[in-house]
Amino acid sequence: MNVLLGMNSRSYKGFKIGIMAALFSVLAAFNPKPFETENEEVNIIVIDAGHGGHDPGNLGTGRYRKKEKDVSYDVSLLLKKYIEENLPGTKAVLTRNDDRFIELYQRTVIANRANADLFISIHCNANENKTAYGTESFVLGMGERDQSLNKTAQLENASRLLEDNWESNYESFDASNPAAVIALRAYQDAFLQQSISIADEIQHQFEGRVKRRNRGVKQQPLAVLRGSTMPAVLVELGFLTNPGEEDFLQSERGKELLASAIFRAIKAYKLKREIRDASLQSESMINDMLDPIEIANDQAQKVIESSTLEKQSTIKPEIVPQSGLYFSVQIAVSRNDLPCQPQNFMGLTSVYKTEQYGLFKYYFGTVTTFRQAEALKDSATQYYPDAYIVAFDDDHKIDLKDAIKRAP
């Protein structure tokens, strides 16, 4: 059993302190900040524009002067602007303020020294298949469940080879060393659910507000995330190797839309972290407050799909509890596939799970009205203080506010 699933908030905080103390010896090279356990506020956000200087990132189709390093920097500048203009008291820090090369490990060092509450690394994707398209977000992980996904890690980690003394910079982690692997897994578990939460929200905003294809949230052994001592996510804005998507990514409107989608995701994540009681009022407030940057439903934003484009894969839940519109309470996320039995979930019955990209999400109950969902949540939060209500239409997760409007 994953010990994280059966802890109350006080014991979990103590466990995290112990984990971090044990890991400092393994990850000391990254100079992490002291682990904060009480503060749920998200006041400092570090934005990492991928690549830079003599590392251009991927070159796209070659039709544009700007490369991955330039597009990621443009979007990062816009995101910083949106945060500072619309979230008073929230500080946005860039890892680079111009076209310069910064080592991957130094990017998280910058975040750690800034005492950041969130780290977002922004990139553009590439693929030999010129029809590949869509957005995806990555959290730290070993990625052993699907080795084909390691292509992204290989592309992004390749920047290490451009660093002076790159081998010594990363020698503290050896994937063949069982102790190092255990340390990495425990380390990432301390922030896994929060990292997945912001990554999920980013993907939701990309899909719902900017009409991009959602390729999902995945785990990969990404060097740029490894040293972070806060929730961290690497975002792939789209494929510069797809001509249609490259046109969108290179356009000023496209950059504005993508930056505003990430901003809205950050705002939703910030509110959810700072408003611990995700009741009807707080969920409604979260959704109602996410409108300072309006997104137009512009058909020109879309990459035209044809029979030659790769098909979008839909990963269905392992258990589909019921059809139609329903609410559940998400109580945990883990890499461990646990039997949905009461003894594994603090005595809770009616627990079910879904699986996507090697991550298991555990839900409590299925009901058809939001009032019933609130009662479920009250029961769940006795054991899982961070539990929150989610909504589904058949096996597809949908916006909670929309579900509340549609529910009886």
Interval 206-259: pLDDT, tens: 998 899 999 999 888 888 888 788 899 999 999 999 999 999 999 999 999 999
Q: Are residues 283 and 399 in the same domain?
A: no
What was the pLDDT predicted at 123? 96
Let me know if residue 63 belongs to a domain: yes
The model's pLDDT over 353-385, given as tens digits with 9 standing for 90+, comes to 988 766 788 999 999 999 999 999 988 888 888
Query: Cβ(89)–Cβ(43) under 8 Å?
Result: yes
Domain count, the chain: 2
Determine the Cα–Cα distance for residues 20 and 251; give it in Å rounded to an integer. Answer: 43
- The DSSP code sequence of 7-76 is --HHHHHHHHHHHHHHHTTTSGGG-PPPPP-S-----EEEEEE--BTTB----TTSSSS--HHHHHHHHH
The pLDDT of 304-314, averaged and rounded, is: 33
Predicted TM-score (pTM) of the model is: 0.61
CB atoms within 10 A of CB 46: 26
Determine the Cα–Cα distance for residues 218 and 224; give it in Å rounded to an integer. Answer: 15
Let me know if residue 316 belongs to a domain: no
Range of the domain at 106: 3-301
What CA–CA distances, in Å, run from 81 to 90, 127, 265? 11, 31, 15
Q: Are residues 280 and 343 in the same domain?
A: no
Q: Are residues 341 and 218 in the same domain?
A: no
Q: For residue 148, give the CATH number of its domain.
A: 3.40.630.40
Q: Are residues 112 and 207 in the same domain?
A: yes
H or E stretch including 374? helix 370-380
Q: Are residues 114 and 237 in the same domain?
A: yes
Q: For residue 343, give the CATH number of its domain.
A: 3.30.70.1070
Token pair for 241:
């190797």
The pLDDT of 62-76, averaged and rounded, is: 97
Q: Are residues 291 and 335 in the same domain?
A: no
The model's pLDDT over 318-344, given as tens digits with 9 standing for 90+, comes to 344 567 899 999 988 877 788 888 888
What was the pLDDT predicted at 303? 41
Q: Are residues 231 and 362 in the same domain?
A: no
Let me know if residue 222 belongs to a domain: yes
Q: Are residues 290 and 379 in the same domain?
A: no
Among candidates 104, 117, 112, which has minimal Cα distance to 164?
A: 104
H or E stretch including 13? helix 9-23
